[in-house]
Structure 1
Amino acid sequence: MDYMFFEIEEIKRKRKKLGITQKKLAELVGVSQPLIARIESGDLDPKLSLVKRIFEVLGELEGKGINARRIMNSPVISASPDDGLLDVIDVMREKGISQLPVIKDGSNLGCITESSILKVVMIRGIDGAENMTVKDIMEDPLPEISPNETLESISKMLLNNPALLVVENGKIVGIVTKHDVMKAMRERE
């Protein structure tokens, strides 16, 4: 009996560590949320088969976790080094994005951000910036990560970068932004 109680306490700990609600766990196991609540609180002595099923689901979730592949945007909207600044501004406004990777022939050459655009307008004025191209103002390339990069690692990298490019087998397959991390956190509910 003590062994079973220890396992039941482990359910709540694992669920909270994974950041999922009782409701979400109940859906994945195929039971009601009140049943999960009663099991976690110790008000119910569940069948061993149910406990095993709950642990199977928790194990699957631990194995999957949130990674770059699950939250990335694909295909990647990008700019070319020869694109005009006004054209890039139009794309950014139309798509509601604050940065674009600069890509040519599949190579990650740089990045253009709202901040880089503002800097050039401050220095050259609006008239001076109108005829510029992306290569005139692009910043360093966005860091590249694998599709299996963890949410924790992604979050740390995004503290100092506007976005991250997801690369698989030498090919850019997606992009992850701060917005994507926040969205992923909300979807776990």
Structure 2
Amino acid sequence: MFYEIEEIKRRRKKLGLTQKKLAELVGVSQPLIARLESGDLDPKLSLIKRIFKVLDELEGKMTAKKIMNPNVIFASPNDTAKKVIEIMWEKGISQIPVIERGKVVGTVTESAIIKRMLEKGADSLVEIKVREIMEEPLPTIPPDESLENISKMLLNSPAVLVVEGDKILGIITKHDVMKVIKG
């Protein structure tokens, strides 16, 4: 995540906030906000994150928690590819995270299935185990991740998992982002 400190003043003014009000919302002093905006202070990343989180909330920015699908369908490394294909077809999804002992260990995608079919034939998908065709795990993000960062991540990944601690809260696909943009 990249934060531009110069954005703070612009966004604060756009929201019609005084330095004092922003300071109250963030839990810091007004002089600290003034020094930050004037460039006289090299702040800790944790402070910058807090400020941007407050600004994002005030602007009603979309976060991962707001756009995620909480109904994540998982596969096991021991499931057959045929079973996963049936689930993907039935649910209209193009990727499934693979879980083993509560931990994400990979992902099965339509591309991985088609690649295997081209290499070994369609019959090879009947008994082959997911562990033999799964790809790298999907990237994970916190529930407060911004729509902008999620969109950037989805340029290189079919989906992202929303995670808090060790708990998977949901999944976000390109389709979910398109729904948000569409309104």
Give the TM-score normalised by structure 2: 0.68
Partner AA of 2:123 in structure 1 = D
Give yes or no for the alignment of 1:104 onto 2:96: no
Give yes or no for the alignment of 1:117 onto 2:113: yes
SS at match of 1:64: coil
- Mapped partners of 1:173, 1:108: distance in 2: 13
Shift of 1:63: 4.2
- Mapped partners of 1:125, 1:153: distance in 2: 38
Higher helix share: 1
Partner AA of 1:131 in structure 2 = E
- Mapped partners of 2:100, 2:85: distance in 1: 18
Aligned mate of 1:133, from 129, 136, 139: 129
Aligned mate of 1:67, from 60, 63, 70: 63
Unpaired runs of 5+ residues, structure 2, are 1-13, 16-54
Task: Check 1:60–1:114 CA distance in 2 against 1; reply closer, same or farther (3 A cut).
Answer: closer
**Percent identity, aligned pairs only?**
52
- Mapped partners of 2:57, 2:146: distance in 1: 13
| Residue correspondence of structure 1 range 127-166 to structure 2 within 5 A | 127-166=123-162
- Mapped partners of 2:146, 2:132: distance in 1: 34
- Mapped partners of 1:162, 1:185: distance in 2: 17
Give the TM-score normalised by structure 1: 0.66
The answer on whether the counterparts of 2:62 and 2:146 sit within 8 Å (CA) in structure 1 is yes
Unpaired runs of 5+ residues, structure 1, are 1-13, 16-58
Aligned mate of 2:85, from 89, 95, 114: 89
